[in-house]
Structure 1
């Protein structure tokens, strides 16, 4: 049995750090509580104050302005990939440290972030390759300064208020990459591609219709053949959580013809914590002969197997080095 989703619907840093520290201190002083239900979640949204979708739009708008005002060029993958990498960070207090980094220090940091994520979710990070291939290149000084401006702007405008929360429900309240992707793309390009992302309010309504209290159970699947940056997945996941269900218990299948949009959806699947049963790929649904899902699952399994092989080889080499070091010590001791 499956749910069939067939539409691509459309202060200062110090003050923020102090408020976050106060909230964390209050939370630490309280006893662990059961997972909040729908009513308490809605109160949380009011407590946070800002409309998350409006905040996501403001982050995207200011990041775009920072990128172009610092002569970053016409490449979309660099600002998109930078914000995507930041969205993986779960410690809001790291923002203070990020603001101290020089442009030359940013590339190694971004490589490390993507590398850590590849170890955890190689299947999705491989799909997100269009967002991080550039970190293996040699960006010039202007591009690195533009990357620095993107990071500062994203932090100052509240990116971590959306993406650095511990609770995946809070991280899933908005899609930052969608307005950033559409805002970076030229209007003529969007028209030619027919790219018009679904407004969150519309996808939220659709999710409530598709996933009601009588039509949902663990083991069901969500299929989105025009996924965009994953907005429909976000709405369905939030609706499941409103019903006290775990997205990890469901399967998620989505594709899009645009590789950058698909890459954003793969990143969002991690940020929104959709779980281990996610398959996202780049492909034309209208040209699908019925084998696209099987091919995507086969490629996903191959990527995970490659990761496992790399890890096993690294562990073997580490053990070998330790053994040789121990042997050298024994020989040195015998010679003495």
Structure 2
């Protein structure tokens, strides 16, 4: 390990207070169900603790999934919540975005999720490709109608439980107050599956404590490399990023590399990397850290470079196609106008 990589010396916690997050400033309104005439976002009593709020969302999503469909395809409800968590609620619009989502019919939701993932693919194709397990089901040309109704039930439950209040902020500090995917991933998996995988996500209170103990402003200089060989959904990265922000530093100025042997966990970490705005030098790999010399970093970087190259090829093709279509339209207009003039 080099001198500019993180697993850092102990440091004191700063005494500078930070403004209270949005969810702690005032009590939310009392619960109110949507009317039959118009589907609208329900008012709910959000827990004051964002981690507890995330757990409540996970419990409700799991309940909605199993009541409506069930089965072992846990990537579908997980990918649904991940897509919704990538949305941003425009300031001053109230529940406008939530209301619009709740009015979508089941058959409209896969297209919505594809557009969300494609929108982020333009900027970070490597992370969206890593998250393929979360959204490849949406590209099924012949989806199961019952499965789509289950996706709608999950969407309604997540939105009505205030998912966008946790992840829809413009401020990445507020989006990174909790990890909404970790309790959902661990809750959807069967106990025997988690035991076989050895998958036990570190609680946020522990990762926050470790970040406060290990990260100080003198050591955490820009370009520091921060690595996590068993990243799970990325909770340790979240805590370190928040600690950096509390110190007045920008996580985008650092190099992040997280790796996990579980493809679904790595997919969640990739989405969280976008939600938490860790920056252009954050990469997520999927490999066995114990069997690779560098924890899979070289392979991950090569895959990321290929993802960007592939995106550029697709964009060039799309640009050329659009230019050709414009040229043909202009030619058609010219011929039509010429024919009119002759007549």
TM-score, normalisation: structure 2: 0.85
> Which whole-Å deviations, capped at 9, do the CAs of 1:64-83 have from their partners, x for residues lacking one?
01100112322110000000
Match of 2:102 among 85, 99, 103: 99
Match of 2:73 among 72, 75, 83: 75
Aligned to 2:289: 285
The structural deviation recorded for 1:188 is 0.9
> Which whole-Å deviations, capped at 9, do the CAs of 1:178-218 have from their partners, x for residues lacking one?
00000000011111111110110110111112211221111
Aligned 1:96-135 pairs, distance under 5 A: 96-135=99-138
Mapped to 1, the partners of 2:19 and 2:5 lie a distance apart of 24
Gapped regions of structure 1 (runs ≥ 5): 7-36
Pair 1:302-2:300 in alignment: no
SS across alignment from 1:255? strand
> Which whole-Å deviations, capped at 9, do the CAs of 1:15-68 have from their partners, x for residues lacking one?
xxxxxxxxxxxxxxxxxxxxxx95233465641561100000000011001100
Contact 1:73 1:143 in 2 (8 A): no
Mapped to 1, the partners of 2:202 and 2:167 lie a distance apart of 20
SS across alignment from 1:238? helix
Pair 1:181-2:192 in alignment: no
> Which whole-Å deviations, capped at 9, do the CAs of 1:95-119 have from their partners, x for residues lacking one?
1011112211112111211221212
> Which whole-Å deviations, capped at 9, do the CAs of 1:117-172 have from their partners, x for residues lacking one?
21221010000001111111233121111111100100111111100011000000
TM-score, normalisation: structure 1: 0.87
Contact 2:23 2:165 in 1 (8 A): no
> Which whole-Å deviations, capped at 9, do the CAs of 1:279-310 have from their partners, x for residues lacking one?
10110001012372112111101101110111
Aligned to 1:63: 61
Q: Which moved more, 1:83-92 or 1:168-177?
A: 83-92
User: Residues 291 and 112 (structure 1 numbering): CA distance in 2 closer, same or farther, change over 3 Å?
Assistant: same
SS across alignment from 2:178? coil
CA RMSD of aligned residues (A): 1.8
Pair 1:4-2:2 in alignment: no
Gapped regions of structure 2 (runs ≥ 5): 9-14, 28-47, 90-94
Match of 1:144 among 111, 134, 148: 148
Match of 1:233 among 234, 237, 241: 237
Aligned to 1:40: 18
Aligned 1:162-241 pairs, distance under 5 A: 162-241=166-245
Mapped to 2, the partners of 1:290 and 1:166 lie a distance apart of 35
User: Residues 39 and 93 (structure 1 numbering): CA distance in 2 closer, same or farther, change over 3 Å?
Assistant: farther
Pair 1:244-2:287 in alignment: no
Aligned to 2:268: 264
Shift >6 Å, 4+ stretches: none
Aligned 1:318-329 pairs, distance under 5 A: 318-329=322-333
Matched length: 306
Contact 2:288 2:295 in 1 (8 A): no
Mapped to 2, the partners of 1:180 and 1:290 lie a distance apart of 30
Name the structure with the higher helix share: 1
Mapped to 2, the partners of 1:2 and 1:47 lie a distance apart of 38
Contact 2:6 2:224 in 1 (8 A): no
Mapped to 2, the partners of 1:190 and 1:245 lie a distance apart of 36
Q: Which moved more, 1:71-80 or 1:81-90?
A: 71-80
